[in-house]
Each structure stands twice: as C-alpha cells, then as structure tokens.
Structure 1
Amino acid sequence: MTKFTSVWEFDLLWSKCNVYTQKAISESRESPMFPFWCALALEFLGRATLSKIHPVLLADPREGDNILYVFGFSKAEGPPKSIAAKTVFDRCFKIVPGFTKKELDACLKLIDRRNEELHSGSAAFADYSTKHWLADFYNACKILLEFLGFSLEILFGKSEGSAAEEMITEVDTKLLKAVKLSISKFAKSFAELSDAEKESKLKMGSEKALENHRSGTKIEKCICCNADGLLAGKVVSVSQDKLIDGDIIYERIILPTSFTCYSCGFKLIDHQELVIADYGGQFTEQVVWDPSDFHGISTTEIDPADLYDYGND
C-alpha cells in the first residue's frame, strides 16, 4: 500500500522555503522583490515549523475534510484548505519557545505588506528600506530555525547567515544611551553655528564625502546636520555576473559597519551603533566592467587581421 503524503509535509514546505530564500538573496537589497521573496520564504518557514510538529496544524479546521485529508481519508473535491498566514504565526507564537509578541508582530507586518502587494494596486514593497525590517526578519527566522534544529547559515548560506547574526545582536543599553547622547551633542553643536559657518561646513563636508566615495560605501544624510556623510561596510555576498548591453555587471551586497560625517564630525564605528542611529540594514552596489578588462584582455595587443581568416594560406 502506497504511503499517503499530504501537501503540508515538512520536507515539501522546507524545500519551498529554501527556493524562495534563494530567490530573495539573489535580489538587489533595494529591489522590491527582495522583501517580497523574503515574505514568502518566511511564511513557508512558519508553515514548515508547524508541520514538523504535525501537518494537521496547517489544516483549516472550519471544514472537517481538511483535517481528514492530512490522514489520507478526505473525499472532498478540490484541494484541501490550509490556515491563513496570520494563524500560522499566531500558532508559532503559542508553540515555539522564544517566539514572542515582538517576533509575531514583525512577521505579520511583513505578511500584511505581501497581502497588500498581491491584492491591491499599490506597490507595497517600493522603497521599503531594509533598515526598517531586515533585522527583525532574520531574528524571527533564527528562532524558528533553532526550533527545527537548524541555523541561519543552513538556510541563508555562510556569508549571509553571518551577516544576519551580526544584524540581530542585542543592542547593549549602555551603547544605546551613548549613541543617543552623541547624536544630541553633535546636533546641538552644529545648530549653534552661524548660518555662514553651517553653509561652509556643509559644502566642505559633502565634497569630502563625495571625494571618499568608493567601492563599499554609500552617500547618506547625517542624522545630526543633514550633510552628505559616508556609510561604509563589508561585502556580504556577490551576485552572478551578467552581460547587459555589452557590459559585464554584477552586484555586491554590503553590510554597513561605519558612518562618517565630514561636516559636523559625527561618527559611528560598528553595525550596532548604526542600527541605533537608523543606518542599519544592507545596501547594494553595482559593479560594471568592460568585458576586455573583466577577462584581462588587452585589445591593444591584438592585430585586427588576426581575427579573420581570409583563406590566404
């Protein structure tokens, strides 16, 4: 007798979670598709978590045939109906140790945006900066994964998993107070300058930020004086290179690790400080290569006649 396998079995849901996770981490961090795929991956991680206990936890109880289906006895026409995503995470909240109201709210916030994206004409994920949700997303994933006996690295890979761990490290209370005090101090000091001094410092600082803007950095407004400052970080991952309009293009995902304002002197020196000052998240930089440079080919060394066979042997 063939063993019945429901569509809510753990292996199937875990596999789908992995598919959507890979789609997510291959996207630019500024793309609306990044949070979209993350939302789908998160839902399937939640469903896989409940299925690990028993697939019946995913059956919509309003119709008995959905429960019978899990045990291979349903004779209902059409596919079985599962519980809504909101119910999935509500059950995780009641079942999974460490999955608190904070994680529940973070998951529902992302799922609500996904629903808005799929069921309305609005672009729910447009301009949805990673600093507003990514750390909470990774934290929820970590708790669910640990319940399953897995790590962030298992699902997201070594480099992305390591960056995720760094992003969700608990912010120390003393550090929180120190950063907020520093912001207040530099903002007050800049505000006390004359208009002429402010204008001069803003111009000089913005020019210096642009001068130091290179690979692994991004121009961001200073929280203290609103000048152009420099956000710098380390590479988390690199996308597959693609040939587009004659150029070879790939993207690097950057985890911010420092911020410098050359106008007022405000500085942040690690990711936890950046999170407190609302500079957390990740950003993407695009790298464009000429094919000859990318492959190390010097076109000056090639005789055009060598590229053709004129049949003069």
Structure 2
Amino acid sequence: MWEYDGFIAKAQLYFSRANDHHTADNDVLAHWLLLGLEFLLRAPLAKVHPILLADMNGDSIMAAAGYPKPTGHPTSIPLKTVVERLETIVPTFTKYHTKDVTGLAGLRNAEAHSSSSPYEQGVELWLPHFTRVVEVLCDHLGLDPADMLGDALLSHGRALVDAADKRLIHEVTQRIKAAVKIRDGLPDEELIVRRARISTLFPGWGGLSLLHEAAEQVGCPACAEKIPLELRVVRSTNERIEDDWVYRDVVYVATGLSCPVCTLSLEGTAEIHAAGIQQQYLRTERESLEERYADYGESEYGND
C-alpha cells in the first residue's frame, strides 16, 4: 500500500498524462501534475519505512509493518504531516518548499471543492513552485527530474523558476537599498546603541570560535556591520580517525539574517543567495580518543 517503487511509478504515470495531453490546456496540465506530486511527496517517507505514512490507528501501523488485517481499513497520514516529516528527512527541503507545497495543495483543493477555476490564473503562478519541489525531491532520491517530467516540461518549469528568482533578487535588492537609507539616517548615539545589540543576538556570541555554534559571522549586505548568519545542519560525514583524534565534517546551510543596526532581515536560503551571501558552510568537528572512551575506565573485576 505504501511501497516506495509504487509511489514513484504512480507519480510518473500521472506526470506522463500531463505530457501526453493533446492540447496545451492549463487545467489538464495542472490537474495531472498536482495529483502526481502527492505521490512523489510521499516517496521519501516510504523509502525510509512505510510506517512513516501510516495513520496512528492500529490497523494502519500493522499494515505498514507487513501485517494487514483482511477486514482492516488502513489509512494514510494527511499531506500536512507528510510535509512536516519531509523537513526532517530531506535536508534540502526547507520551509520555502513547505510553502510551495501548501500553496499547490490549496490550488488543487480550490479546484476540486469550490466553484472557482484557480487553474485559469496561468501556469506561471504555480509551475515554478511545482518545479522547485520536484527537483529537491528527485535530488534527494537520486532521480533525474527529466525522467519524471520529461525534458520539455522540465525546461518550461525551470525557465519560470529563473524568472521567479530574478523577481526575488529584485525584491531583496530593494530591501537592501531601504536598509542602507535607514543606516545612513541614524544619529551617532543611536548607531552606538544598535551596534551594542549585536553581541546579544546569540548566547555565547564572541567571535564564533566554537565548532558547535550554529552561526557564522558575515558582513551585513546593507551596512557592512559584522553580524551572525543563522545556520542549520543538513548533513555530516562518517567519522574518521587521524592520529589520536576522531573527525567528522558537518555541512551547514544559511537560514536567516537579521541586522539590529539597519534592520535588514533575510529569511531562508533563497533570500540569502539573492543577497549575494554564501549559502553553505563546512566545519570540522573533532574529539580525542581519550575523551571518546573516557567512560570506559578500569575494569571493576576483583573489587567485590
């Protein structure tokens, strides 16, 4: 019922129906693509284990574990829960992708349950969001999005994504310009007060010398003040031993920035990128073998 291969095959089937339609009808395109998307969204959870897709009732969990009742009626978790779990399972699935999915699901529901025709608004309002979600899921699953959607449809979606990115860059640029004006208009006394707030943004803020601190010191793109860029761990390498130390590399992505001086605020990796700030950061953590095995002290044999 919740097999990974089945979800992928069903998503491909629905996507192919969108491609195979004999006219460029936006309603038909949206209908099949948005129906197929839900199967693709559930695939990463199924790949970990089908039980992640099962409702909490007993019949559903048992069915997901491979013990269905002949008279049982297993049910799936709702899409909202699927998306919440994707944020944990897929490191690159950010809250921006969650917003994309929420908007696409709302569009589909409005088409199915209301008297309006939301698909008539045009593909440029939803295809960029759809393409972003498909690409991040395919990348995580090791799939080629062109195999899922077809080259032509993928190129169409990517072209609209590029246009959406340009709009975001323009929006972020305008916000930076506005923040510059705020900074330039501050009297010296107020500037001193606002600069003093920087050290209070994160506990232990003091140059970011600790490996485990989820922040990076960067120059504000508007006022150039050194402020913390918030980071989130997305993955880490397997541990390696060198000499008497255990090492692992940890990859972080930028998630937000808020400047107390000029009031510029950036949220999410997309806005960070649009502002020209580095998105990914690599840190190496280390622990001595002595520290690792400190609790494995002398044997207690003979102490009784």
When residues 90 and 41 of structure 1 are mapped into structure 2, their CA distance, relative to the original with a 3 A threshold, is: same
Q: Find 1:82's aligned residue among 76, 83, 89.
A: 76
Q: Find 1:33's aligned residue among 25, 28, 31.
A: 28
1:76 to partner: Cα distance: 6.0
Asked if 1:161 corresponds to 2:154, the answer is yes
Please list every run of 5 or more consecutive structure 2 residues that lacks an aligned counterpart in the other structure. 175-304
Are the aligned partners of 2:50 and 2:65 in contact in 1 as well (CA < 8 Å)? no
1:75 to partner: Cα distance: 2.2
Match of 2:105 in 1: 111
Are the aligned partners of 2:128 and 2:160 in contact in 1 as well (CA < 8 Å)? yes
Match of 1:54 in 2: 49
Q: Which amino acid aligns with 1:140?
A: V
Match of 1:102 in 2: 96
State the alpha-carbon separation in 1 of the partners of residues 40 and 97 from structure 2.
13
Match of 1:222 in 2: none
CA deviations over 1:100-135 (Å, ceiling 9, x no partner): 1111111111112222333x3424434131111111
Match of 1:212 in 2: none
Match of 1:241 in 2: none
1:30 to partner: Cα distance: 4.1
When residues 23 and 123 of structure 1 are mapped into structure 2, their CA distance, relative to the original with a 3 A threshold, is: farther
Over the residues paired in the alignment, what is the CA RMSD in angstroms?
2.7
TM-score, normalisation: structure 2: 0.51
Are the aligned partners of 2:26 and 2:123 in contact in 1 as well (CA < 8 Å)? no
State the alpha-carbon separation in 2 of the partners of residues 47 and 80 from structure 1.
16
Match of 1:211 in 2: none
**Aligned residue pairs: how many?**
172
1:168 to partner: Cα distance: 2.6
Q: Find 1:127's aligned residue among 106, 120, 123.
A: 120
Please list every run of 5 or more consecutive structure 1 residues that lacks an aligned counterpart in the other structure. 1-6, 181-313
TM-score, normalisation: structure 1: 0.49
Q: Find 1:22's aligned residue among 16, 19, 34.
A: 16
Q: Which one has more relative contact order, counting CA pairs under 8 Å at least 6 apart?
A: 1
When residues 32 and 92 of structure 1 are mapped into structure 2, their CA distance, relative to the original with a 3 A threshold, is: same
State the secondary structure of the residue aligned to 2:66: coil
State the alpha-carbon separation in 2 of the partners of residues 174 and 127 from structure 1.
24
Q: Which amino acid aligns with 1:66?
A: S
Match of 1:151 in 2: 144
1:149 to partner: Cα distance: 0.3
Asked if 1:45 corresponds to 2:40, the answer is yes
Are the aligned partners of 1:39 and 1:110 in contact in 2 as well (CA < 8 Å)? yes
Q: Find 1:66's aligned residue among 44, 57, 60.
A: 60
Are the aligned partners of 2:111 and 2:119 in contact in 1 as well (CA < 8 Å)? no
1:163 to partner: Cα distance: 3.3
CA deviations over 1:164-184 (Å, ceiling 9, x no partner): 33333473589737x99xxxx
CA deviations over 1:201-237 (Å, ceiling 9, x no partner): xxxxxxxxxxxxxxxxxxxxxxxxxxxxxxxxxxxxx
Q: Which amino acid aligns with 2:84?
A: D
